[in-house]
Amino acid sequence: MNRALSQVDPEIARAMEQELDRQQNCLVMIPSENYASKAVLQAQGCIMTNKYAEGYPGARWYNGCEQVDTAENLAIERAKELFGADHVNVQPHTGSQANMAAYYALLQPGDRVLSLPLDHGGHLTHGQNSNFSGRYYRFTHYGVDRETEVIDLDVVRRLAHREKPKLISVGYSAYPRAIDFAEWRKIADEVDAYLMADVAHIVGLIAAKEHPDPVPYCDIITSTTHKTLRGPRGAFIMCRREYADAVDRACFPGVQAGPLMHVIAAKAVAFKEAMTDSFRAYQHQIVLNAKALAKALMERGFRLVSGGTDTHLMLVDLRPLNMFGATAADLLEEAGILVNKNSIPFDHVSSALASGIRPGSPAVTTRGMKEPEMEQIAEMMSRVLHDPESESVRKEVLQEVRELCARFPIYEDLTEGHCG
């Protein structure tokens, strides 16, 4: 029972050790990834994983839930305080399941929904054909404008009046511009639709008031906890008081059964961390760093979709370099820089190749990097992508990345890839 992981399963222990090494020695520019604190990691690896707790605090289907009730109540109360929400459900296992529960709470199969499609920056669960959302609900999509590459609210308004959706979805995975939720509320009210925000990416910025607040304007808000919020891998839902019962019933027993109580405990820790001045300063720096990176990339000739960013991420259009996003991501990985390929609006190639990449600043900002390092990263990215034939350039950059990473350790007191 008490043997160490490395004794019980040396192969997994070794993979974790190497993962720690990888995370320490590369630049994570994937905007949905981050480094959770050691406290969050410890909570996520705790004994609450052993407990079944279907139901909600004070009303469980199993006995022995006193301590997990404490954890869940703390998570709920902290999230309510952090965001000023009427009601919070912290049980969704993932962002996709939070969205599934949100639709389940407010819609019937076949209801109409208006959303941004995946290839313009939305998410699979925003009505993609191969996803449950596209199968069970009737989605109509608005897109970004071909010229400005931002969402044109006049187009959204016209579509809303034509389609009369039951729910309008706002909030995205690959859209670099701020969202004016008050304007979206007006459109939703004009057609008597629910307004739902999926803030999985920007939730940390919202908590720190670095992005407009959806809470006063949206009926329901879904989010992950592991991106800019820097918590454990998971999700939660906020909603207006009148939808509280529907949301709770949708999460359990609607789309999930046993909640992951160890992850809920870690969510409580993350919400507590997000109430601190240092978290607010971190979110402020995320935005400064993203803007600095965007500017430095544009100065080196890269075209950014919509001309820049207001948030933590940006989309780089690689068509002028005659390069696929998939190729760019592989070249950069060889040089120690991790980005993800990403379709750009009106892309002519498949999403498996994609014409863009989606760099972001949350993880490198957690390491303590600031504007000068963003300039250095842009310079290294430029050297790699402007000279794709040169293996020696990638080797040189890899060496520089290693040196930069050594100056900004991720977990000073962690020597194995786990906290136990």
Report d(CA 106, CA 165) in Å as an integer. Answer: 12
Asked if residue 253 has a cis previous peptide bond (ω within 30° of 0), the answer is yes
Cα 162 to Cα 111, 158, 168, 170, 401, distances in angstroms: 15, 6, 13, 18, 52
198 is catalytic: yes
Indicate the burial class of 298 (C-beta count within 10 angstroms; 0-12, 13-18, 19 or more): middle
Catalytic site includes residue 227:
yes
Q: Catalytic: which of 17, 54, 183, 396?
A: 54
Question: At closest approach, how far in Å is the CB of 189 from ligand DSN?
Answer: 29
Shortest distance, position 145 Cβ to ligand DSN, whole Å:
22
CB of 100: closest distance to ligand DSN in angstroms?
Answer: 13
- Spatial distance between the Cα atoms of 71 and 55, rounded to a whole number of angstroms: 14
Question: CB of residue 200 vs ligand DSN: minimum separation in angstroms?
Answer: 6
Say how many C-beta atoms besides its own lie within 10 A of residue 195's C-beta: 21
CB under 8 Å to 272, separation ≥6 — which residues? 74, 78
Nearest distance from residue 176's CB to ligand DSN, in Å? 13
Q: Which is nearer to ligand DSN, 78 or 123 (CB)?
A: 123
Site string for ligand DSN, 164-193 (x = CB under 6 A): ---------x--------------------
Residue 154 CB contacts under 8 Å (≥ 6 apart), including other chains = none
Whole-angstrom distance, CA of residue 108 vs CA of residue 198: 19
Phi-psi region of 331 (alpha: psi -120 to 50; beta: other; left: phi over 0): alpha
CB atoms within 10 A of CB 164: 11
Q: Is 387 a catalytic residue?
A: no
Residue 283: Cβ-neighbour burial (10 angstroms; 0-12, 13-18, 19+): buried
Nearer to ligand DSN, 196 or 404 (CB): 196
52 is catalytic: yes
Nearer to ligand DSN, 339 or 393 (CB): 339
Q: Which is nearer to ligand DSN, 37 or 94 (CB)?
A: 94
Residue 396 to residues 37, 82, 90, 334, 337, Cα–Cα distance (Å): 31, 44, 45, 11, 12
The residue from 163, 198, 317, 373 that is catalytic is: 198
Q: How far apart are the first and last CA of the chain?
A: 13
d(CA 273, CA 230): 9
Among 55, 92, 95, 259, binds ligand DSN (CB under 6 A): 95
Rank residues 51 and 123 by Cβ distance to ligand DSN and give the closer one.
123
**What is the H or E stretch that residue 317 is in?**
strand 316-317
Per DSSP (E only), the strands in 32-176 are: 55-56, 59-60, 87-89, 112-115, 138-141, 167-170
By the rule CB under 6 A, 128 interacts with ligand DSN: no
Tokens for 57, please give them.
């605090």
Q: Which is nearer to ligand DSN, 264 or 339 (CB)?
A: 339
Per-residue binding string, ligand DSN, 20-39, x by CB under 6 A, is ------------x-------
DSSP per residue, 268-295: HHHHHHTTSHHHHHHHHHHHHHHHHHHH
Between residue 376 and residue 405, which ones bind ligand DSN under the rule CB under 6 A? Answer: none
The residue from 78, 120, 123, 177 that contacts ligand DSN (CB under 6 A) is: 123
3-state SS, 395-408, equals HHHHHHHHHHHHHC
Residue 344 CB, nearest approach to ligand DSN (Å): 15
Taking the least distance from each CB to ligand DSN, the nearer of 55 and 362 is: 362
333 assigned to active site = no
CB of 95 to ligand DSN, least distance (A): 5
Q: Which is nearer to ligand DSN, 30 or 393 (CB)?
A: 30
- Output the smallest distance, CB 221 to ligand DSN, in A: 16
Catalytic residues: 52, 54, 198, 224, 227, 233
Binding residues (CB under 6 A) for ligand DSN: these are 32, 95, 123, 173
